Amino acid sequence: MSSTRAKWTRSRTGCWTCRKAGYKCDETRPECGRCKRLSITCSGYGNRVIWRDTATVESGTRKRKRKTASEASPGISEERQSATPSALSTISSSNDSPISLRSHETSIVLTLSPGRTPSDIPPGMGLEDYQFLHHWTTVVSPILSVASKTEHNPFREHLTPMTYNIGPLRYTVLFCAAKHLSALHGQQYGGKQILRYQNLALRHLNEALGNSNEATSDSTLASVLLMQLSTLFASDEEPRADHLNGAKWIITKRRGLSSLSDSCGRFLESLFRYHDVMSSITRGESPLLDHQDDLNVDGDEFLGDIAPLLEIISHISMLQPRKQVVDQDLDDIGHEDLIESVRLAKGMELETQLKDWTGPSDDPDWLNLAEAFRHAAFIYLYRVIYNIGAPHPLTLQHAKCCLDAVRLTPLMSPLVSVHVWPIFTAGCESIDPWDRAFCRQRLQDMFHKRKLLSLLRVQRAMEDVWSRKDQEALHGADQVCRVDCIAVLKQKGREVELG
């Protein structure tokens, strides 16, 4: 009887070996009496953070968490203690659910016994920094990527190894991880680390840009692009900087270099291309670079087989400046007519390309993503060349098809990472209350899963457009038809990140 009671009398302050086995510990130091008597390794005392997946149903109660921890294989525990960020990410990606952290739980995600440090910690990196790096590897990089769990995540595959060298990318990655943890735990969390990493990233970035060899390196370009992506984690009050122009300068310098031929170089170019085209939509201007030649390479490292759609969207954005010229009062009427005829001809050519284009059929989620982008591109095209939107039948038809494709994509799919633009474009043109409710709920669900503050800005911007459209509806359908969602946002001073 006494043996049985001892077996299940847990100690909250005993050594970790006894606590894991469920035995009462006499707490003798440095090694407890039970471990000495049985000639087993005493894991010591003190705080130790358990590496858990808190997104599963089973993790909802403390009782279930203890049971899971007690049944875990010792081999797996040992493997996690010594793993690098890449190895840890492989372990976490095998779970059915992504890792999520509750607001009341610690941000530390490593399992370390007292006195233990990761065996492959990067040079010059402290344990606290390594914990943020681990959060980047296991949580942040998956929500930025469209790669499935069975595919290589290019953010993790290309960027994480480069953080093992001291430089701008290391601190930009840590900055992004700290920003995301701040969104998870509240804006007051990690303020000192955020400022520290940001200052270090900018300092090292300036040094790299001043070095002719480092200025065009993969690490420098990746750091600038991640600075741009860090706006996804930023609050409304934080100042914004346009890092795409800096990335454009680097890429222009890199043209013709051999680095563009490797997988990392192609991924960075494709990442810039995507965000450049998405940014051109909100700016109402041409993309910063002409990407037509870039898409002739063997596939796109970021968007895969649907990259040709990005080229069409890019050409639609290139029609924007011509539209603005035509909208102005020009003295030369003949010149104005010529510009208008050229713009319409190019627009009809792009419309034909969109009608003829077919997406990949081997993966349902990719096919739905392609259809969502294609129908959103139709909406964008009609706005640019005809200045029409809902309730015009053409726009309503494509808005419906776009949202139907989004509905067919599971919320847990990694492709949701690039669903913002289709949802925003079709959502702004939706007049059906049920469609509007879906768009609002989908953005809220995406935010709760990913904790990207940019999603809340997109939702508010979309609601601003609905309010404007509903007001214009009082004056007739023709007035509503001409309400341009981007123009509404500019009038209100709104900034949205559609990438």
Distance CA 52, CA 37 (A): 31
Neighbours of 436 (CB within 10 A): 17
Mean pLDDT of 378-406: 94
| Residue 447: pLDDT band with limits 50, 70, 90 | very high
Angle at 77 between CA 72 and CA 83, to 5 degrees: 145
| 112-116, 195-199, 223-227, 447-451: the lowest-pLDDT one | 112-116
Mean pLDDT of 394-401: 96
* Max CA separation in the chain (angstroms): 102
Residue 63, pLDDT > 80, answer no
Residue 476, pLDDT > 80, answer no
pLDDT of residue 294: 52
- Collect all residues with Cβ–Cβ distance below 8 Å to 135 and sequence separation of at least 6: 107, 109, 177, 180, 181
pLDDT of residue 150: 56
pLDDT tens by residue, 153-200: 899 999 999 999 999 999 999 999 999 998 888 756 667 889 999 999
Distance CA 357, CA 488 (A): 31
- Collect all residues with Cβ–Cβ distance below 8 Å to 272 and sequence separation of at least 6: 221, 225, 244, 247, 248, 251, 289
DSSP string, 430-488: ---HHHHHHHHHHHHHHHHHH--HHHHHHHHHHHHHHHHHHHHGGG-HHHHHT--HHHH
pLDDT of residue 53: 32
pLDDT of residue 54: 32
Mean pLDDT of 229-238: 88
Distance CA 304, CA 307 (A): 6
Closest to 138 (Cα-Cα) out of 225, 201, 73, 53: 53
Residue 4, pLDDT > 70, answer no
pLDDT of residue 200: 95
How far CA 78 is from CA of 13, 30, 114, 123, 287, in Å, comes to 22, 21, 14, 22, 50
pLDDT of residue 169: 96
Residue 50, pLDDT > 70, answer no
More confident residue, 191 or 281: 281
| Residue 299: pLDDT band with limits 50, 70, 90 | low
Residue with tokens 């509750």: 102
Torsion angles phi and psi, residue 278, rounded to 5: -65, -40
pLDDT of residue 381: 96
Domain boundaries in the chain? 73-253, 262-492
More confident residue, 24 or 453: 453
What DSSP character marks residue 147? -
Amino acid identity for residue 490 in this structure: K
More confident residue, 104 or 27: 27
pLDDT of residue 113: 42
pLDDT of residue 87: 35
Cis peptide before 30, with omega less than 30 degrees from 0?
Answer: yes
| 68-82, 152-166, 385-399: the lowest-pLDDT one | 68-82
Neighbours of 142 (CB within 10 A): 22
| Residue 454: pLDDT band with limits 50, 70, 90 | very high
Mean pLDDT of 19-42: 79
Sign for the CA dihedral angle at 113, 119, 123, 129 comes to: negative
| Range 146-155 burial, b when 16+ CB lie within 10 A, else e | bbeeeeebbb
DSSP string, 236-271: TTS-----HHHHHHHHHHHTT-GGGGSHHHHHHHHH
**Mean per-residue pLDDT of the chain:** 78
Distance CA 310, CA 251 (A): 18
More confident residue, 77 or 401: 401
Distance CA 492, CA 345 (A): 33
- Copy the structure tokens of residue 144: 């930025």
| Residue 261: pLDDT band with limits 50, 70, 90 | low
Distance CA 407, CA 438 (A): 9
Mean pLDDT of 147-154: 73
Amino acid identity for residue 304 in this structure: G
pLDDT tens by residue, 317-375: 999 865 554 444 445 555 667 777 888 899 999 999 999 998 877 789 999 999 999 99
pLDDT of residue 136: 94
Torsion angles phi and psi, residue 140, rounded to 5: -75, -50
More confident residue, 92 or 210: 210
**What percent of the residues of the chain are helix, what percent strand, and what percent coil, each to the nearest 5?**
65, 0, 35
| Residue 208: pLDDT band with limits 50, 70, 90 | very high
Distance CA 56, CA 354 (A): 41
Count of CA atoms in the C-beta half-sphere (13 A) of 61: 4
Residue 297, pLDDT > 60, answer no
Strand ranges (E), 344-419:
none
